[in-house]
């Protein structure tokens, strides 16, 4: 049985005081009976140290939302994987559609970032997903399959089994439009099949594949109970402890 991973993505929200307040409230709401679900929060860089400290005995993991693919250098404004490792980060999101759309993230840079992260113990959450136009043209499987192939290129099978892939249809992010549980499961199964063809059945059985895009307390349970959906990447509904805990307790 694969454990589920429910991950929050705070994007560019909250300051340090708000992050600490969230952590305190969230710890109060958490019970210890999380036998089959792990919890992660991916916060802006400035809050990572404080959040890691605030959550240190809770079992809740902390991650970043981006990294650079070089060790160091003249890359103004960027953060290296070594810098994230120094903060004890558990995960790092790679290739979120907002980064692909607004910051020229490509499959090539995603691939380099994945390789670089595997020089550390930080696990990647690789985001893939099609746009509305691509789905309307029935190209979603081709688009997502190509992203998976290009982004995982050159990784070893044991590394790929440590990657978390988040299927996030762009048309469902922040829009209130959720993929139906069937649409989401169908794509997660397709991603698993693609991983199996590229890296073998054992890896396909192990790899965690999340769904993301307007996951809320009222739809988490139906999505997370699907056979190929191993968790959720949650934006808006992860900002408040009371809605995020409902998703964790789906």
* Catalytic residue ranges: 96, 168
Q: CB of residue 176 vs ligand PGA: minimum separation in angstroms?
A: 8
Q: Shortest approach of ligand PGA to residue 215 CB, angstroms?
A: 5
User: In the complex, what is the shortest distance from the CB of residue 202 to ligand PGA, in angstroms, rounded to a whole number?
Assistant: 28
Cα–Cα distance between 234 and 222 in angstroms, integer? Answer: 15
Task: Please identify, using beta-carbon distances, which residue of 19 and 203 lies nearer to ligand PGA.
Answer: 19
CA distance 2 to 225: 12
- 103-109-111 Cα angle (round to 5): 140
Minimum Å gap between C-beta 200 and ligand PGA is 28
Exposed e or buried b per residue across 206-238, where buried means at least 16 C-beta atoms within 10 angstroms of its C-beta: bbbbbbbbbbbbebbeebbebebbbbbbbbbbb
Q: Which two tokens stand for residue 111?
A: 């691939």
Kindly write down the DSSP assignment for every residue of 108-130, as one continuous string: HHHHHHHHHHTTSSPEEEEEE--
Complex with ligand PGA: residue 55 or 128, whichever CB lies closer: 128
Residues making contact with ligand PGA (CB under 6 A): 9, 168, 173-174, 212-215, 233-237
107 or 168: CB nearest ligand PGA: 168
CB of 154 to ligand PGA, least distance (A): 26
Identify the H or E element spanning 2.
Answer: none
Task: Name residue, tokens 């400035």.
Answer: 46
> Which residue is listed with tokens 């952590």?
23
Shorter beta-carbon distance to ligand PGA: residue 73 or 176: 176
For ligand PGA, give the closer residue by CB, 98 or 228. Answer: 98
Q: Which residues contact 126 (CB under 8 A, 6 or more apart)?
A: 94, 95, 110, 114, 151, 152, 163, 164, 165, 166
């Amino acid at each position: 049985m694969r454990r589920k991973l429910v991950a929050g993505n705070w994007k560019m929200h909250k300051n340090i005081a708000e992050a600490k307040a969230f952590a305190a409230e969230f710890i109060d709401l958490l019970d210890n009976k999380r036998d089959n679900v792990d919890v992660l929060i991916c916060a802006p860089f400035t809050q990572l140290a404080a959040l890691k400290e605030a959550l240190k005995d809770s079992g809740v993991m902390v991650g970043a939302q981006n990294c650079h693919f070089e060790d160091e250098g003249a890359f103004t404004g960027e953060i290296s994987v070594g810098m994230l490792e120094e903060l004890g980060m558990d995960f790092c999101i790679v290739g979120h559609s907002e980064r692909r759309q607004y910051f020229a993230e490509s499959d090539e840079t995603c691939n380099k970032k994945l390789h670089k992260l595997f020089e550390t113990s930080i696990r990647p959450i690789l985001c893939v997903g099609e746009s509305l136009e691509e789905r309307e043209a029935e190209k979603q499987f081709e688009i997502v399959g190509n992203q998976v192939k290009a982004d995982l290129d050159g990784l070893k099978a044991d590394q790929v089994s440590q990657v978390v892939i988040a299927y996030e249809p762009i048309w469902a992010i922040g829009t209130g439009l959720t993929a139906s549980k069937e649409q989401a499961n169908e794509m997660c199964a397709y991603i698993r099949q693609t991983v199996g063809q590229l890296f073998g059945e054992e890896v396909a059985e192990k790899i965690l594949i999340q769904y993301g895009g307007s996951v809320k307390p009222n739809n988490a349970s139906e999505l997370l109970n699907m056979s190929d959906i191993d968790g959720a990447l949650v934006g808006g509904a992860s900002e408040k402890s009371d809605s995020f805990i409902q998703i964790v307790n789906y």
